[in-house]
């Protein structure tokens, strides 16, 4: 059974860079059947998609955050990471990583999620 586990700092100062890592068990992140995504949920608000990295390492980002976001991967550790630069308090949220199913070249949904990790941006 695949599991996704997020890790990273719980408190970050404004203007700094956030780095979160998602460790994936039981299944390779290079599998052609899946891509890997980051999503966040600010307190009291809905889910916001941040970006995705495909099985070949291609990345796609939300236009709203593209200038501040980077997703990368370490295939030797079977994990992928999120970097979010120039943090502001509005970046405070629970951050989730998720697996995205792919069929016939189409991303059809996120079928496995991590539990999420709360990141607070505050001085």
Q: How far apart are the first and last CA of the chain?
A: 39
Q: Look up residue 63 and give its two tokens.
A: 């236009």
pLDDT at 30: 94
pLDDT at 110: 94
Residue range 10-24, pLDDT digits in tens: 999 999 999 999 999
pLDDT at 97: 98
Residue range 56-92, pLDDT digits in tens: 999 999 999 999 999 999 999 999 999 999 999 999 9
Mean pLDDT of 108-115: 94
Give dist(CA 113, CA 99) in Å, integer: 6
């Amino acid at each position: 059974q695949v599991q996704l586990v997020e890790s990273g700092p719980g408190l970050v100062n404004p203007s700094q860079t956030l780095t979160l890592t998602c460790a994936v068990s039981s299944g390779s992140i290079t599998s052609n059947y899946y891509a890997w995504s980051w999503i966040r949920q600010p307190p009291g608000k809905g889910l916001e998609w941040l970006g995705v990295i495909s099985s070949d390492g291609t990345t796609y980002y939300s236009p709203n955050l593209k200038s501040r976001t980077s997703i990368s991967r370490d295939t030797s550790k079977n994990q992928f990471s999120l970097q979010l630069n120039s943090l502001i308090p509005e970046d405070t949220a629970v951050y989730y990583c998720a697996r995205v199913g792919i069929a016939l070249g189409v991303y059809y949904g996120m079928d496995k999620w991590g539990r999420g990790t709360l990141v607070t941006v505050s001085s």
